[in-house]
Amino acid sequence: MRSSTCTQGASRCQQRSEWAFVNIPADLPSAAGVWAGQPNDVVVVGAKGVILHFDGTSWTNQGAAGAAVTLSGVGGNGSGLVYAVGKGTILERASASSGAWVAMKPPIENHPLHHVWVGSGTTSFITGEGGVVLVRTSTGWTTTRTDSGYDLYGVWRQPGWGTYVVGEAGAIFRGQ
């Protein structure tokens, strides 16, 4: 792809190499997380509780179930289960077509949460500040912590291999 510009302003809209600017319907002050389960199921979250959904044709603003908190992470599985997280916030998508998101009560109130990984079954992981790792199983959310207290910004799980969480100061932890 050749370099070009778009109508949104040069600093945000220049296209270079294989990256192309994506026009969105809402004023998104800052995007913090993206997840795509299918080409027609892309979710972007960001500041002021913005949740954008791409259905393969157009973007819609799905809001944030009344939350004005910055959403910092989003993750899902190919079966439609999607969570968005932020400070003291876990939102679960009710359905892609309705655009409805339901607030869940985290096991730790008002705690900054950063990243989410969602498995094919009921298992999900969320990382947060102070070494917090939230784990969801069929019985609900539980809180675990690494011994370090480092803020954790990423999580990935591969069944049979284990779960990895990463964070500040180069912290990498492996769990089951």
pLDDT value at residue 8:
47
Better pLDDT: 50 or 165:
165
Q: Are the CB atoms for 85 and 74 separated by under 8 Å?
A: yes
13 three-state secondary structure: helix
Q: How confident is the model at residue 67 (pLDDT cuts 50, 70, 90)?
A: low
Q: Is the pLDDT confidence value at 110 over 60?
A: yes
Separation of alpha carbons 146 and 91, rounded Å: 24
Can you tell me the distance from the alpha carbon of 28 to that of 52, in angstroms, rounded to the nearest whole number? Answer: 9
Q: Which residues are bridge partners to 137 per DSSP?
A: 140
Q: What is the mean pLDDT of residues 21-25?
A: 77
Confidence of residue 26 (pLDDT cuts 50, 70, 90): low
Decide if 91 contacts 98 (C-beta within 8 A).
no
pLDDT band at 16 (very low <50, low <70, confident <90, very high): low
CB atoms within 10 A of CB 48: 15
Domains of the chain (ranges; CATH) run: 27-175 (2.130.10.10)
One-letter amino acid identity for 26? Answer: A
Is the pLDDT at 9 greater than 60? The verdict is no
pLDDT at 27: 66
The model carries a pTM of 0.84
**What count of other Cβ atoms lies within 10 Å of the Cβ of residue 1?**
9
Is the pLDDT at 156 greater than 60? The verdict is yes
Query: How far apart are the C-alpha atoms of 90 and 74, rounded to whole Å?
Result: 10
- Average pLDDT over the chain reads 85
Own/partner contacts of 97-104, CB < 8 Å, gap of 24 or more, are: 99/53, 99/60, 99/62, 99/63, 100/62, 100/65, 101/51, 101/62, 101/63, 101/64, 101/65, 102/65, 103/65, 103/66, 103/67, 104/141
pLDDT computed for residue 21 by the predictor: 81
pLDDT tens track for 45-55: 998 888 999 99
- Of 7-21, 88-102, 127-141, highest mean pLDDT: 127-141
Planar angle of CA 40, 41, 46, nearest 5 degrees: 130
The predicted-structure confidence for 72-106, as pLDDT tens digits, reads as follows 999 999 888 999 999 889 999 988 778 889 989 88
